[in-house]
Amino acid sequence: MFEVYFFRTNEITLSLQLILEFNSTFYSHEDQLSDKESELDSFMRNEEEKASMVERANKVMNRMKAAELRVQSLEVTNIDLTAKLESGKNAYLAAVENENKAKSELKACKERLKRLEEEQTAIIAAIRKEERRKV
């Protein structure tokens, strides 16, 4: 009977050890699973944060592209206006030069006209003098 009791005690002890080992293994796996779940939750939160950052970055990039297109358009407009300004400046300078030439020509014509009038006046005075002498 002692042998049976001993044998059964060993069996029970062995069974208890197996149960304890199973439970510890199970709890260990359960802990690992819990750790993995919290790690997965952390990864999900990080993924959501990164997705929102990517979305904001895309919005900024789209605004930058739109701004770049506006800047390019303004640069083209600026180049067009610069060419027009240069053309206008050249036309103004040419007009000023033509005006100065016209003024100098007018002055020369007035001087010639004045000389001609003086000559005509002298000729008329001479003719009158001669006619008075004849009369």
pLDDT for 35-84, tens place per residue? 888 888 888 999 999 999 999 999 999 999 999 888 888 877 777 788 88
Q: CA–CA separation, 4 vs 12, rounded Å?
A: 12
Q: CA–CA separation, 135 vs 132, rounded Å?
A: 5
- Convert the pLDDT of each residue in 84-110 to its tens digit: 888 889 999 999 999 999 999 999 999
Q: CA–CA separation, 127 vs 21, rounded Å?
A: 153
Q: CA–CA separation, 96 vs 22, rounded Å?
A: 107
Q: CA–CA separation, 127 vs 133, rounded Å?
A: 10
Q: Is the pTM of this model over 0.75?
A: no
DSSP for 42-58 reads HHHHHHHHHHHHHHHHH
- Convert the pLDDT of each residue in 5-23 to its tens digit: 555 677 778 777 878 787 7
What is each CA distance from 123 to 53, 75, 111, 128, in whole angstroms?
Answer: 101, 70, 18, 9
Q: CA–CA separation, 102 vs 96, rounded Å?
A: 10
